[in-house]
Amino acid sequence: MKDTVNRRAGTTYPFHLELDTRFTDTDLGGHLNNVSIVLYYRDAQARFMLDCFPDLAAQSEWTPRQVRCDVSYDGQTYYPDPVDVACGVEEVGDSWVRVAQALFQRGQYVGQCSAVLALVDSQGQHLAISPEQRARLETRRLRA
Amino acid sequence: MSEVAIITPTYPSLAANPLRLELKTYPVQFQLPTRFSDVAHGKRIGSIGMARYCEQARMQLLTTLLGKERLHSGTWKAFLRQISQEMLSAASFPETLTVGGGLRHIGNSSYSLGFGFFQGGVCVGLCDTTDVWVGDNGRPTAISDEFKNLLQKEALPL
């Protein structure tokens, strides 16, 4: 992943979400397993989008669809400590937004994710991001 | 969000190489049943469901390449370091997924696997994973020749 800002620092991200970890998220070694980490990132993406567009909650398919995600596992994570998932806008495309995320536990950076969220209709067709939507997303950019 | 116009997305895609969209590209193929608990909307499989299938596919391919006994004997010591997954169209329940997989790249202490997920002959998703081989101290270490040879048996022609 290309770093133009410090992706490992919590202060880089304008949005943070603390999530409880679950015993059912662990593997045999007591670590949080690979898929659970993806789930934490996805939960935070949804909360981040709701923070940006509160009116979305009233719609039936209210969150942009995740069409791509790149996850880097850079440290071990453990149950039962909570995790802090940080989010910020990295890039805004024609019909999509790339959300940069980082995962912290016990105050330590443990991984990052770059997710492309796309606006799609019920048929799966991509829809353009409006100027107003773009303006709101721009206010939640990663901090240099 | 308002519907403004239908457009073609421009984000970087794993599907940039058209060979990745053909099942015949992948040297190892197997079936993966879909689960109702992976459904997000209607019959559509969500991104978390796809993440589960990617992880399952990774372990199934490694089992095919290395054999169940080697994989669970304690001599195989690798951790998932990176994963990229992309949903190209909606996978649906209850249809089974046909998964194609193979080795993308192997280095001194890491290897990458590539997967395609198909339903009705159409590629609905792609996934790339990178594992790091670690020693008893948890640090990256060279993959043994035995495991290298086994992994290289089923390389993707990319």
Inform me whether the pLDDT recorded for B6 exceeds 80. no
In angstroms, what separates the C-alpha of A70 from chain B's closest C-alpha?
4
Lowest-pLDDT range of A69-73, B75-79, B145-149: B75-79
**So what's the pLDDT on residue B57?**
97
Amino acid A92: pLDDT: 95
Name which residue leads in pLDDT, A130 or B24: B24
- Interacting residues of A83 by C-beta distance below 8 A, sequence separation 6+: A18, A19, A21, A32, A40, A77, A103, A104, A105, A110
Interchain proximity A34–B13, CB inside 8 Å: no
> What's the confidence (pLDDT) of residue B5?
61
Chain B residue numbers with beta carbons less than 8 Å from the beta carbon of A128 are: 4-7
Percent of residues, chain A, with pLDDT higher than 90: 74
Tell whether the model's pLDDT for residue B71 goes beyond 80.
Answer: yes
| Percentage of residues of chain A with pLDDT beyond 70 | 95
Burial string for A86-123 (b: 16+ CB within 10 Å, else e) reads bbbbbebbbbbbbbbbbbbbeeebbbbbbbbbbbbeee
A93/B9 touch (CB, cutoff 8 Å), yes or no: yes
Q: Is the pLDDT of residue A1 over 60?
A: no
Query: Which residues is A64 bridged to in the sheet?
Result: none
Residue B105 clears pLDDT 50, i.e. is over it: yes
Interchain contact A125–B (C-beta under 8 A): yes
pLDDT at A60: 62
Q: What is the pTM of this model?
A: 0.89
Two structure tokens written together for A119: 């606006």
Which helix or strand (DSSP H or E) is residue B84 part of? strand B78-87
Comparing B42 with A62, which gets the higher pLDDT?
A: B42
Distance from chain centroid for Cα A118: 13
pLDDT at A3 over 60: no
pLDDT at B62 over 90: yes
Interface test with chain A among B1, B41, B50, by most A beta carbons within 10 Å: B1
